[in-house]
Amino acid sequence: GGVILHIDFKPAVEAFAAETGMHPDRVMREIFESPELKDYDRGRIGPDEFFRSIRSRLKIGMEEGRMRRLWDDIFRENTPVADLIRRWHGTLAMFLISNTCQSHVEQFERQFDLFGLFKDRIYSCHVGLLKPDAGIFELAIRKFGVSPSRTLYVDDKPENIDGAREAGLHGVHFESNGRF
């Protein structure tokens, strides 16, 4: 979410705040600190249950389809990183591990060609595990058939790098384009 794509929840949060009369910061907390979001990202609940619970929690009268479109239309390609992925495709075995929900997987796989360039992908909502849990990295090592000591893992969140290192991977913190 902070390496390959830029993510901007601001338009969605502002629309939800306008519906509720709440300050956008409170809307952010109510959603991003909710147990439902973690359950959604782990695949324990589907989009219908997630959006129903958030609509109920925030008392949003907005039609669920509009709410979902706002929630999912948050991605922009990080062009310098995307260009690297395209250039490396076919020369390096590239794999993806992402904490994300099913509706976001559907959105960004439809919106961007990049995700088809990875040899394989693991999405948290499909495996029930979230980074930084070392278990998701251990699963990736087995599924991808890689040697941890010969595998580089890049992430924008230091805690995810720690989880990768715990599983034996080499972790590099991505801070911004041009700064690893």
| Rounded Cα distance, 23 and 176, in Å | 29
User: What is the amino acid identity at position 125?
Assistant: C
User: pTM for this structure?
Assistant: 0.92
On whether the CB atoms of residues 98 and 121 are closer than 8 A, the answer is yes
On whether the CB atoms of residues 141 and 129 are closer than 8 A, the answer is no
Instruction: Mark the ranges of the chain whose per-residue pLDDT is less than 70.
Output: 1, 177-180
In terms of Cβ atoms closer than 10 Å to its own Cβ (0-12, 13-18, 19+), residue 33 is exposed
pLDDT at 177: 67
Give the number of C-alpha atoms closer than 13 A to the C-alpha of residue 150, restricted to the C-beta side.
Answer: 6
Give the number of C-alpha atoms closer than 13 A to the C-alpha of residue 157, restricted to the C-beta side.
Answer: 13
pLDDT at 180: 44
Peptide bond into 132 cis (omega under 30): yes
pLDDT at 2: 81
pLDDT at 176: 72
Around Cβ 93, how many Cβ atoms within 10 Å?
13
